[in-house]
Amino acid sequence: MPDDRRTVADPGRAAGRSARVGPPEAAVNDEFSIRRATVEDAGSMSRIATDTFVETFGHLYPPEDLAYFLLNTYSPAAQRELLEKDSVAMWLLERNGVAVGHACAGNCGLPHAEARPGDGELKRLYVLREAHNGGWGSKLFDTALAWLQKDGPRTLWIGVWSQNLGAQRFYARYGFERVGEYKFPVGNTLDDEFILRRRA
């Protein structure tokens, strides 16, 4: 099963936020809320993961490549498999109970020679355009960072599309630096990805 590391941030309200301070497990403001996803959320996670990826990147790929990637990476079964792992955590950003964003974090699986078993990785960070500019991408990111460092500081990694300059600027504000590259497969299409790291 392909592992999606195409992270996308909502940097519109991120400037000036602390890189090392995360919110509690649930953050609520008006109609929006962030909550930890459970196995019962596999269907919702599949839908929001598919919707956000297609909205953001769908136009870049041949239909057959996109369909293959979505089926193998974002199916309910694939999300359930991730949600059943103790080493993985996923969150849903909801507005009035409807998912408009999500995040996923776990142990580092990026192809870098200096990655170590104890390192953590932000694997996904997506917010639908309709929910941009409210700072919720930052809140999702803070939530994932807090979980990744719940047992203390550790080296963190992120894989990001080489052309996603906004996300790269967003992560740089949190202390992440580019340390490598790799190819990210979407069907038969191979994208150029950057590997970012923040040392413990």
Each domain of the chain, given as residue ranges in start order, spans 23-198
pLDDT at 18: 27
Does domain 23-198 correspond to CATH entry 3.90.230.10? no
Residue with tokens 């599309």: 161
pLDDT at 9: 52
pLDDT at 151: 94
User: Is residue 152 within 8 Å of residue 116, measured between CB atoms?
Assistant: no
197 backbone φψ class: left, alpha, beta (φ>0; ψ -120 to 50): beta
Residue with tokens 């602390």: 18
* pTM: predicted TM-score of the whole model, two decimal places: 0.85
pLDDT digits (tens, 9 = 90+) for 130-189: 988 889 999 999 999 999 999 999 999 999 999 999 999 999 999 999 999 999 999 999
Q: Which residues contact 165 (CB under 8 A, 6 or more apart)?
A: none
pLDDT at 134: 86
| 74 closest CA partner among 162, 154, 3 | 3
Pairing mode, if any, of strands 156-161 and 120-127?
A: parallel
pLDDT at 172: 98
Taking 70 as the pLDDT cut, the residues of the chain under it are 1-30
pLDDT at 5: 54
pLDDT at 184: 97
